[in-house]
């Protein structure tokens, strides 16, 4: 029995590697996705992308030397830390939120579950100094490393033509964002059917599930699609009844108390990740708009089948749990009361058991090939270790026509 199994393992490893190569090398525009928006002031270059990859994986940027961006956005776990409910940073400290995948996050207009960061460049500075993530007191240790480590010195010189004190966090963040903009992945079975016209790419159950998604399930009203591509997010914020239900009673006292603390200088990034109640305030913590209490960013549904558990707090374990939550009208247990700030778009759906299964099958058809292969390999303990730095050697993903389509606050 030995040899055949061995053969299968080798094949699986090879397919992951080729998938990752394809992801970085050629995917200017994978099937089902638009071109990646790239800000005019941070154009993609192969050297900058490679530098960003190195920075993304550098554990020296944490207080313990044990945590990098890739710890929680692990390329081997579809750029998440699945199956953790909430992320673990330095010294195994846990934050309040589930790590979203970095795959296709370049298409978001605002970053983090509550949109508190305005672009990818800005986002990259925060985890480094968050006490439950990488735990540095300030960015000085990062700057010291990139200004003195010979390999970084050479790379920053080549990419930005800067050295010594000319190198600031701006360049570090730009390189990381450039790398993240290559982590783009479409071409799922659904894309090959719906956008590629291959009737055999998905089965009938997926097609039925897609119909539920569009009609009775009302999912597409927030997880939106376009004529030529689908991001499955409206880039907006909604209260769908997750997490906030837990602090419902306390909101009348707690929300104003948070605003007082905020005006006295409380750091929002630190507060939301360390204080579970502040976390549940959602978009309100950023905008201070009452009707955004408990509202979070609509997630993309791409690759959702390989990034469990779900929602900002990781509270729903399976895709079936998610659909049941929606089917109940925004509560996890059927007859629980809904929260006061629930989105008008959330109401009981009366889906049948078959419709629920179909909807789950549809979501499972949104997995890009390299991450499907990865999941198969993960289920096979003896499979090879994938060296994901292959992504870094990629040519720029952005066609010239694309530059400037992004820009600040795109």
Q: What is the DSSP letter of 103?
A: T
Say if residues 314 and 99 touch (Cβ distance below 8 Å): no
Q: Dihedral of the CA atoms 381, 382, 388, 394 (nearest 10)?
A: -120
189 interacts with ligand HEC by CB under 6 A: no
Instruction: Report 160-179 residues binding ligand HEC (CB under 6 A).
Output: 176
Confirm or deny that 223 is annotated as ligand binding: yes
Rounded to whole angstroms, what are the CA distances from 273 to 42, 96, 113, 115, 306? 29, 5, 11, 13, 24
Query: DSSP states of 295-330 as a string?
Result: BEEPPP-TTGGGS-SBSTT--B-SHHHHHHHHHTTS
Q: Number of residues in contact with ligand HEC, rule: CB under 6 A? A: 55
30 interacts with ligand HEC by CB under 6 A: no
123 interacts with ligand HEC by CB under 6 A: yes
- Region from 17-25, 143-151, 199-207, 304-312 binding ligand HEC, contact rule CB under 6 A: 304-312
Say if residues 278 and 285 touch (Cβ distance below 8 Å): yes
Say if residues 133 and 89 touch (Cβ distance below 8 Å): yes
Structure tokens at 63: 């207080």
**CB under 8 Å to 23, separation ≥6 — which residues?**
182, 183, 184, 185, 370, 391, 394
Confirm or deny that 13 is annotated as ligand binding: no
Of 73 and 155, which CB lies nearer to ligand HEC in the complex structure? 73
With CB under 6 A as the contact rule, the residue among 7, 64, 138, 221 that binds ligand HEC is 221
Question: Whole-number minimum distance, CB 168 to ligand HEC, in Å?
Answer: 15
- Region from 8-16, 22-30, 187-195, 340-348 binding ligand HEC, contact rule CB under 6 A: 340-348
With CB under 6 A as the contact rule, the residue among 89, 186, 189, 396 that binds ligand HEC is 89
Query: DSSP states of 385-404 as a string?
Result: PP-GGGGGGPPP---GGGBT
Question: Whole-number minimum distance, CB 3 to ligand HEC, in Å?
Answer: 39
Question: Whole-number minimum distance, CB 238 to ligand HEC, in Å?
Answer: 4
369 interacts with ligand HEC by CB under 6 A: no
325 interacts with ligand HEC by CB under 6 A: no
- Whose structure tokens read 């929602």? 311
- Region from 125-133, 186-194, 284-292, 383-391 binding ligand HEC, contact rule CB under 6 A: 125-133
Instruction: Report 230-269 residues binding ligand HEC (CB under 6 A).
Output: 238, 240, 242
Long-range own/partner contacts, residues 159-163 (CB < 8 A, 24 or more apart) = 159/45, 159/47, 159/48, 159/51
Question: Whole-number minimum distance, CB 94 to ligand HEC, in Å?
Answer: 9
Rounded to whole angstroms, what are the CA distances from 312 to 87, 273, 304, 363? 11, 11, 13, 18
Say if residues 177 and 183 touch (Cβ distance below 8 Å): no
With CB under 6 A as the contact rule, the residue among 112, 194, 229, 371 that binds ligand HEC is 112
- Region from 33-41, 99-107, 252-260, 393-401 binding ligand HEC, contact rule CB under 6 A: 99-107
**Separation of alpha carbons 292 and 285, rounded Å:** 9
Site string for ligand HEC, 41-70 (x = CB under 6 A): ---------------x----------x-x-
Confirm or deny that 384 is annotated as ligand binding: no
- Whose structure tokens read 């930005």? 160
182 interacts with ligand HEC by CB under 6 A: no
Question: Whole-number minimum distance, CB 69 to ligand HEC, in Å?
Answer: 3
* Ordered alpha helix ranges (H), 196-344: 204-214, 244-247, 251-263, 268-274, 276-280, 284-287, 319-327
Which DSSP helix (H) or strand (E) runs through 123? helix 120-123
Return binding residues for heme c: 69, 72-73, 219, 222-223
Residue numbers at the binding site for ligand HEC (CB under 6 A): 56, 67, 69, 71-73, 87, 89, 95, 97, 99-100, 102, 105, 108, 111-113, 120, 123-124, 127-128, 133-134, 176, 180, 217-219, 221-223, 238, 240, 242, 272-273, 296, 298-299, 301, 304, 307, 310-312, 319, 322-323, 326, 343, 345-346, 359
């Amino acid at each position: 029995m030995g040899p055949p199994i061995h053969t299968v393992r080798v094949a699986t490893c090879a397919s992951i590697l080729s998938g990752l190569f394809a992801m970085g090398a050629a995917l200017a525009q994978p099937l089902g996705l638009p071109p990646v928006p790239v800000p005019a002031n941070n154009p993609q270059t192969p050297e900058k992308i490679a530098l960003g990859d190195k920075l993304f994986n550098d554990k020296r940027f944490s207080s313990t030397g044990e945590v990098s961006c890739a710890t929680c956005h692990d390329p081997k776990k579809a750029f998440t830390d699945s199956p953790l409910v909430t992320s673990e940073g330095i010294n195994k400290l846990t934050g309040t939120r589930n790590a979203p995948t970095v795959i296709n996050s370049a298409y978001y207009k605002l970053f983090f579950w509550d949109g508190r960061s305005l672009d990818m460049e800005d986002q990259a500075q925060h985890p480094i100094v968050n006490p439950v993530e990488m735990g540095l007191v300030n960015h000085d240790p990062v700057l010291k490393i990139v200004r003195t480590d010979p390999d970084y010195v050479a790379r920053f010189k080549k990419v930005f033509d800067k050295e010594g004190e000319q190198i600031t966090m701006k360049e570090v963040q730009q390189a990381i964002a450039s790398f993240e903009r290559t982590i783009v992945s479409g071409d799922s079975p659904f894309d090959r059917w719906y956008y590629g016209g291959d009737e055999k790419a998905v089965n009938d159950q997926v097609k039925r599930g897609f119909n539920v998604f569009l009609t009775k399930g009302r999912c597409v009203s927030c997880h939106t699609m376009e004529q030529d591509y689908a991001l499955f997010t409206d880039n907006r914020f909604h209260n769908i009844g997750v997490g906030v239900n837990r602090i419902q009673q306390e909101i009348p006292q707690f929300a104003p108390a948070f605003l007082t603390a905020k005006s006295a200088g409380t750091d929002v990034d630190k507060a939301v990740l360390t204080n579970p109640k502040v976390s549940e305030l959602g978009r309100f913590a950023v905008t201070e708009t009452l009707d955004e209490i408990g509202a979070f960013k609509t997630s993309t549904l791409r690759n959702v089948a390989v990034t469990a558990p779900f929602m900002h707090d990781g509270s729903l374990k399976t895709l079936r749990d998610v659909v049941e939550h929606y089917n109940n009208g925004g509560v996890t247990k059927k007859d629980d009361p809904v929260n006061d700030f629930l989105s008008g778009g959330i109401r009981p759906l009366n889906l049948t058991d078959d419709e629920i299964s179909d909807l789950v099958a549809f979501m499972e058809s949104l997995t890009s090939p390299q991450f499907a292969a990865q999941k198969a390999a993960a289920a096979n303990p003896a499979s090879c270790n994938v060296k994901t730095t292959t992504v870094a050697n990629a040519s720029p993903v952005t066609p010239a026509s694309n530059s400037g389509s992004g820009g600040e606050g795109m």
